[in-house]
Structure 1
Amino acid sequence: MAKKAMVEREKKRQRMVAKYAAKRAELKAIAADENRPMEERFKAHLKLAQLPRNSSRTRLHNRCQVSGRPKAYYRKLKISRIALRDMASYGQVPGMVKSSW
């Protein structure tokens, strides 16, 4: 089980990304538009840099919804390999059976 503080930190980042998503998109569009004057584009870059770092989408990390584990994450299922194996052993994942040979 992951530390509770790490899971909460990730949730806080997700909230912050959602909060600033529109503003970041607007500033990025201004900064990337080559038809605008260079000064306006530079100001957009500066405003973008003043936003909180955790409002950037690249700072998010996928975590297992069961255990909070950050590694070995299956995107389709939103859980880690260990949680998947435990759930499969208890028969909680439809269509998945334990293999042996």
Structure 2
Amino acid sequence: MKKLFAKDIKNRKKVKQLELDYFILKQISTNSNFIKTVRWNSLHKLSNLPKQGSKTVLSNRCVKTINKKTFHKFTNFSRTVFLKLVKSGQISGMRKSSW
């Protein structure tokens, strides 16, 4: 578990560092006010950025179970852990509704 969290933290730092570079190069390459060679060079630099720096490398994981398949996007818990917390009353203002 510790390895997965350490790897995730490392990936998030790398993405955060390269996010600004990616954004600037992307804007330069799509802006038609720049000279063609400048746009071409920005596209070349953009293609040479490391693939581990893209946002698609990141994956959301549950804080307790490290599960990433049933991750609830509004909380940092998986679906099963979230339901257990709601049933036990540890999350205020939430209750399990029945149909």
- Report the equivalent of 1:72: 70
- Report the equivalent of 1:90: 88
Deviation at 1:12, TM superposition (A): 1.5
- Report the equivalent of 2:11: 13
- Report the equivalent of 1:45: 43
**Cα distance in structure 1, aligned partners of 2:98 and 2:27:** 54
Deviation at 1:39, TM superposition (A): 2.1
* TM-score, normalised via structure 2 length: 0.80
AA aligned to 1:5 is K
- Report the equivalent of 1:22: 20
Deviation at 1:27, TM superposition (A): 0.8
Deviation at 1:26, TM superposition (A): 1.0
Work out whether 1:36 is the aligned partner of 2:27. Answer: no
AA aligned to 2:15 is V
The alpha-carbon distance between structure 1 residues 47 and 95, as it changes in their structure 2 partners (threshold 3 A), is same
Give the 3-state SS of the residue equivalent to 1:93 in structure 2. Answer: coil
Deviations along 1:6-65, one digit per CA (max 9) or x if unpaired, are 333222211111111211111111111122222221211121122221211232222122
**Cα distance in structure 2, aligned partners of 1:51 and 1:19:** 12
**Percent of paired sites with the same residue:** 29
What RMSD, in angstroms, separates the aligned Cα atoms of the two structures?
Answer: 2.1
Give the 3-state SS of the residue equivalent to 1:74 in structure 2. Answer: coil
Q: Which runs of 4+ in 1 moved over 6 A?
A: none
Give the paired residue count. Answer: 99
5+ residue gaps in structure 1?
A: none
5+ residue gaps in structure 2?
A: none
